Amino acid sequence: MGMCGEGTVIEKGVKIFHPKNVFLQNDVYVGHDTILKGYHENSLIIEEGSWIGQQCFFHSAGGIHIGKHVGIGPGVKILTSSHALDELDKPIMLAKKLIMKSVTVYDGVDIGVNAVLLPGVTVGKGAQIGAGAVVTRDIPNYEIWAGVPAKKIGSRKK
């Protein structure tokens, strides 16, 4: 692995692909049957004290950076690539061009069970993402978002 920090726990059934591009800092927890899909380029970085629930799927073709003390519920998906849609003479999955965009999750965020973060989004510091939400755009610091697609439903600021 690129890094596996002190106190990090990787539960049974976790699969790590392209481990040289996966960096887990100190005291990270990775739950059972999670898939951390490093990629042959870019990195998957999870900073100290973050907690990843079981059966998550992180695909870091475009790069993923998760900050400190982030809680990620079971079944969360983080995607960083999509197929180009301009090759009309081919099925979409055979398109040669992939569009890669990084995902950044800042410190102190909480992401609910089965939420999905799509390529290119940034989740601001201390934000809350509701269970089952599909995040298609950036979320500002300390805001609460839920739904499909995710929309602002509140704020943690007073």
Question: What are the structure tokens assigned to 154, written together?
Answer: 């509140």
Give catalytic status of residue 83 as yes or no.
yes
Q: Is the predicted pLDDT of residue 158 greater than 80, yes or no?
A: no
Question: What are the structure tokens assigned to 146, written together?
Answer: 């839920």
Give the Cβ contact number of residue 119 at 10 Å: 19
% residues pLDDT > 90 (the chain): 86
Give the Cβ contact number of residue 153 at 10 Å: 13
CA distance 25 to 35: 17
> Which tens digit of pLDDT belongs to each residue from 21-42?
999 999 999 999 999 999 888 9
Domain of residue 101 covers 3-155
Are the CB atoms for 33 and 52 separated by under 8 Å? no
Given the residues 32, 40, 65, 83, the one annotated as active site: 83
> Which tens digit of pLDDT belongs to each residue from 90-118?
898 887 788 999 999 999 999 999 999 99
pLDDT at 49: 98
Total domains present in the chain: 1
**H/E/C letters for each residue in the chain?**
CCEECCCCEECCCCEEECHHHEEECCCCEECCCCEEECCCCCCEEECCCCEECCCCEEECCCCEEECCCCEECCCCEEECEEECCCCCCCCHHHCCCEEECCEEECCCCEECCCCEECCCCEECCCCEECCCCEECCCECCCEEEECCCCEEEEECCC
pTM (global) more than 0.85: yes
> Which tens digit of pLDDT belongs to each residue from 42-55?
999 999 999 999 99
CA distance 143 to 156: 6
Q: Are strands 98-100 and 22-24 parallel, antiparallel or unpaired?
A: unpaired
- pLDDT-wise least confident of 66-70, 94-98, 112-116, 120-124: 94-98
Cα-based distances in Å from 29 to 7, 17, 35, 136: 9, 17, 13, 26
CA distance 101 to 44: 13
- CATH number, domain containing residue 57: 2.160.10.10
